[in-house]
Amino acid sequence: MLAHLGIDDTDSPRGGCTTYVAAVLVEELHELGARFVDYPNLVRLNPNAPWKTRGNGAICLRFELEADLLDEAFSRALEAVKALSDLGDENTHPGLVMLEGPVPLALKLFAKKAIRGLAGLDEALKLCARYGLRTYGFKSGRGIIGALAAVGETLAGDHTYELLAYRTPENRGRPRRVDPGSVVKMDEATRPFTFNNYDPETGRILITPRGPDPVLLGIRGEGPDVVLRAFRMLAIGEPVERWAIFRTNQGTDAHLVRRLVRELRPHLPAVLRGRVASQPKVIPGGHVVFALSDGSGTVDCAVYEPSGRLRQVAKALWPGDLIEVAGGVREGPGGRLTLNVEKLVVIELAEKLLPENPRCPRCGKRMKSMGAGKGFRCPRCGHRDPKARKVLVKAPREVRPGLYLPPPRSQRHLTKPPRRYGLEKYGQPGPPKGEWFGLGLPSRGSEVDGNAGPR
């Protein structure tokens, strides 16, 4: 019998990670006789959902198992969630669901809604009842939303992989010991088929998170082979408890959907296309704000200080520029909406015309004002013209049409990094092949070719 087990909301800022629960369960279900039909799926949901702990990730395990063992599989999952969740945290509300058979269209649509908008617990529970899913919610059961969305997102569109390695308990909470030099070398050897390994502007290593969770590192890439090969290249100075390769919607822009300004609501991700409607201004904190109009309305767009050079680009925009901005909608004081920009495409530049003093018609020198409304005089030849007025002069533009993103350190999990453009892929790969999970470090492997292409 084909089964899909979805889990979400097991962690808190104090620790835990839903992917860790998945990695533990992969071992357990494997022992129980499960034959996995896909890599564990790590599905990132709407990054603007207000309840998320960090990256709003939910997971789904898809496997075949004897029908009479499915109850056992579900209760083992329950036990794992109970043992590994931070149930004491007021914001942790784990949810588990298990679907038998193929994934119905209604669940696929529910998943899209949870990735691109907000979904409700009532709606999730109704779908669970309609399709006969085993369902369990701890506390408020809010995690059922994410768990069901993970089941519904079968990753048939563009997808990527992430190899996640976990720490042994005694090391959790301590600095992670992964040699930065080996990360840079790994990046050079595997690019463009791995991404966001480190931030080139600051040199910061991005494969290692910084919180107390059990994740030692995560390597993101285009295929299972390349992330495993990259993992073997790293110099790691602490034991690895276990590791697993996930298939995921990270780095695919899956959350971004085109909307009109008048359709914007708080917490929605959106892509807007329109013209810059005000001169960008820098507000306290170094953030850049400008207005954008698309014919249906006008909205403020904010590029925050951590967006690095993206701020310089935003500052150089000019009213009339045709642009596309993507980001999440935030509600400010008085219900005013702002789009937090996480991606900017400059499509067409307007002429930037600035008022300047006229040139002297006799000698060509720029003239000086004789006072408001009193015309201009030439400082060189003395020519006076009481009727002269300021003229509009075309100023050079400090921005070019193109795609602009924040630096990797400030990108969201779902943001498609520049390295991925042209590497998109579609369709499900089928059952995992070769080594894809394990305890300790993986075997050394046999790949010796220098070709870093994904499988």
Site membership for ligand ATP, residue 411 (CB under 6 A): no
Site membership for ligand ATP, residue 114 (CB under 6 A): yes
**153 or 225, CB closer to ligand ATP?**
153
CB of 400 to ligand ATP, least distance (A): 36
Site membership for ligand ATP, residue 118 (CB under 6 A): yes
Neighbour-count burial for 146-167, b at 16+ CB within 10 Å, e otherwise: bbbbbbbbbbeebbbbbbbbbb
- The structure tokens listed for 88 are 């004491």
CB of 49 to ligand ATP, least distance (A): 4
Site membership for ligand ATP, residue 11 (CB under 6 A): yes
Site membership for ligand ATP, residue 119 (CB under 6 A): yes
Site membership for ligand ATP, residue 46 (CB under 6 A): yes
**124 or 344, CB closer to ligand ATP?**
124
Residue list 17-36, contact with ligand ATP (CB under 6 A): 17-18
Select from 52, 330, 359, 419 the one that contacts ligand ATP (CB under 6 A). 52
Site membership for ligand ATP, residue 112 (CB under 6 A): no
Site membership for ligand ATP, residue 93 (CB under 6 A): yes
Binding residues for ligand ATP, rule CB under 6 A, total 23
Span from 47-55, 233-241, 298-306, 372-380 in contact with ligand ATP (CB under 6 A) = 47-55
CB of 159 to ligand ATP, least distance (A): 17
Site membership for ligand ATP, residue 250 (CB under 6 A): no
Select from 34, 49, 186, 325 the one that contacts ligand ATP (CB under 6 A). 49
**54 or 273, CB closer to ligand ATP?**
54
Closest residue to bound ligand ATP by CB: 146
Span from 111-119, 258-266, 281-289, 317-325 in contact with ligand ATP (CB under 6 A) = 111-119
Neighbour-count burial for 13-29, b at 16+ CB within 10 Å, e otherwise: eebbbbbbbbbbbbeeb
**118 or 282, CB closer to ligand ATP?**
118
Contact present, 62 and 103 (Cβ < 8 Å) = no
Spell out, one character per residue from 121 to 160, where the chain touches ligand ATP: x when CB under 6 A holds, - when not: ---------------------xx-xx--------------
Residue list 310-329, contact with ligand ATP (CB under 6 A): none
Q: Which positions touch ligand ATP (CB under 6 A)?
A: 8-9, 11, 17-18, 45-46, 49, 51-57, 93, 114, 118-119, 142-143, 145-146
